[in-house]
């Protein structure tokens, strides 16, 4: 026998589902969604229509010949398949893809490994220009997928809020999301789990021990790989050199010590294990464009 409370809950759930737009799938186990502008009109700039995060039901299948908006989706967990413009792709964590008006697509969930995925729906004539690598209607695998998830979660927080700035914040974060996907994108099917895992391990080691490391050779030995392989990993997954990554970590810390710690230049040089203050100052200027003393003066004036 059902209690009156359960009847009320069931009624509220049914009412909420009835309010969902027709293009939103009901084949979900749970969902966090937001809606901003479901009738965006003809805008030249990209407009965030809606978005959310869905955990898919085992039997989830979406098959469409077209879609009223441009959509960007990102798989955070689980597996499935995507048929896009007649070609089939495997969906797995870290895969991003897009579709839009006149782009046929079929998304199928793997019942043994149900997917959790994020999505945003966009409108505006300028959307194809900002889609970047996704605009060719081919999925991409991203390195460091957690960074993409963080932007989606930021969108979720801001767009689910209230107030006159919500739409503007959502619209402003969309290019950030697409740039992050562009930054971390690998060609579909090219991701090598072993090399990516090696890169992630090396990156974490550098971020944890950069104060003690002076050269790429030291970093490579600590990570049990050759300097050449370490450099290749960073070039591929971070789009920068391993040495440049190490120096950037050191100079970020140097700026903190100079401005917040009140340390002298020679003290910071010693803290970061530079041979002398002159060498430190040269590297600092190469990164920030000005020597440490001028950097401090400009910060204080500002």
**pTM attached to this predicted model:** 0.64
- Could you tell me the CATH number of the domain that includes residue 218? 1.10.10.60
- How many independent structural domains does the chain possess? 2
Query: Of the candidates 123, 153, 187, which is a domain's last residue?
Result: 187
CATH label of the domain that carries residue 121: 2.60.120.280
Does residue 293 lie within any of the structural domains? yes
Non-local CB neighbours of 107 within 8 Å, separated by 6+ positions: 60, 61, 62, 73, 80, 81, 82, 91
Boundary residue ending a domain (187, 211, 237): 187
* Contact assessment for residue 188 and residue 87, using Cβ atoms and an 8 Å cutoff: no
Q: Decide if 5 is inside a domain.
A: no
Neighbour-count burial of 188, counting CB atoms closer than 10 A to its CB (0-12 exposed, 13-18 middle, 19+ buried)? middle
Please give the Cα distance from 62 to 85 (Å, whole number): 14
SS3 track for 158-197:
HHCCCCCCHHHHHHHHHHHHHHHHHHHEEECCCCCHHHHH
Asked if 271 and 277 count as a contact pair (C-beta separation under 8 A), the reply is no
128 with 135: CB under 8 angstroms? yes
Which residues span the domain enclosing 99? Answer: 23-187
Examine the domain organization and report whether 155 and 275 are in the same domain: no
- pLDDT by residue (tens digit) across 140-168? 988 888 899 999 999 999 998 888 899 99
- The encoded tokens of residue 100 equal 């839009």
Residue 14 located in a structural domain: no
Contact status, residue 82 vs residue 181, Cβ threshold 8 Å: no
- Domain match, 223 and 146 both: no
* DSSP 8-state code for residue 133: G
Same domain as 261, residue 173: no
Considering 155, 187, 219, which residue would you say is the last residue of a domain? 187
Looking at the fold, whether 234 and 273 belong to one and the same domain comes out as yes
| Same domain? 176 vs 203 | no
Residues present in the chain in total: 302
* Same structural domain, 247 and 292: yes
| Distance from the Cα of residue 82 to its chain's centroid | 20
Considering the domain architecture, whether residues 53 and 180 belong to the same structural domain is answered as yes
CA 149 vs CA 81, 132, 157, 178, 279: distances in Å: 20, 18, 12, 12, 39
Dihedral of the alpha carbons of 14, 122, 133, 77, in degrees to the nearest 10: -20
- Per-residue pLDDT of the chain (302 residues), as tens digits, is 444 443 433 333 333 444 678 888 889 999 999 999 888 878 788 999 999 999 999 999 999 999 999 999 999 999 999 999 999 999 998 999 999 999 999 999 999 999 999 999 999 999 999 999 999 999 998 888 889 999 999 999 999 888 889 999 999 999 999 999 998 887 666 555 678 788 888 988 999 999 999 899 999 999 999 999 999 999 887 888 999 999 999 999 999 999 887 889 999 999 999 989 999 999 999 999 999 999 988 877 65
183 and 201 inside one domain? no
Residue 209 within any structural domain of the chain: yes
Shared domain for 111 and 250, answered yes or no, is no
Angle, helix 242-259 to helix 193-209, in steps of 10 degrees? 30
- At 54, list the tokens: 């869905």
Q: What is the DSSP letter of 290?
A: S
- Considering the domain architecture, whether residues 27 and 174 belong to the same structural domain is answered as yes
Are residues 138 and 232 both part of a single domain? no
């Amino acid at each position: 026998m059902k209690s009156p409370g359960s009847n009320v809950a069931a009624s509220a759930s049914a009412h909420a589902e009835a309010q969902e737009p027709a293009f939103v799938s009901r084949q979900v186990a749970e969902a966090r969604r937001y809606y901003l502008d479901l009738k965006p009109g003809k805008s030249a700039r990209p407009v965030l229509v809606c978005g959310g995060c869905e955990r898919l039901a085992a039997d989830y299948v979406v098959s469409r010949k077209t879609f009223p908006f441009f959509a960007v989706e990102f798989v955070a967990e689980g597996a499935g398949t995507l048929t896009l413009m007649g070609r089939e792709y495997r969906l797995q964590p870290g895969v991003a893809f897009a579709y839009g008006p006149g782009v046929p697509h079929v998304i199928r969930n793997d019942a043994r490994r149900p997917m959790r995925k994020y999505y945003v729906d966009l409108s505006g004539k300028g959307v194809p220009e900002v889609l970047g690598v996704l605009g060719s209607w081919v999925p991409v695998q991203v390195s460091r997928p957690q960074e993409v998830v963080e932007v989606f979660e930021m969108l979720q927080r801001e767009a689910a809020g209230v107030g006159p700035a919500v739409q503007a914040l959502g619209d402003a974060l969309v290019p950030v999301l697409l740039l992050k996907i562009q930054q971390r994108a690998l060609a579909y099917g090219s991701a090598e789990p072993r090399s990516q895992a090696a890169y992630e391990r090396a990156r974490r080691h550098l971020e944890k021990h950069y104060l003690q490391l002076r050269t790429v050779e030291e970093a490579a030995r600590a990570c049990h790989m050759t300097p050449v392989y370490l450099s290749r990993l960073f070039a591929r997954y971070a789009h920068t050199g391993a040495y440049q990554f190490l120096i950037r970590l050191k100079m970020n810390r140097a700026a903190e010590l100079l401005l917040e710690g009140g340390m002298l230049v020679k003290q910071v040089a010693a803290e970061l294990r530079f041979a002398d203050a002159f060498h430190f100052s040269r590297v600092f200027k190469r990164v920030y464009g000005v020597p440490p003393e001028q950097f401090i003066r400009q910060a204080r004036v500002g």
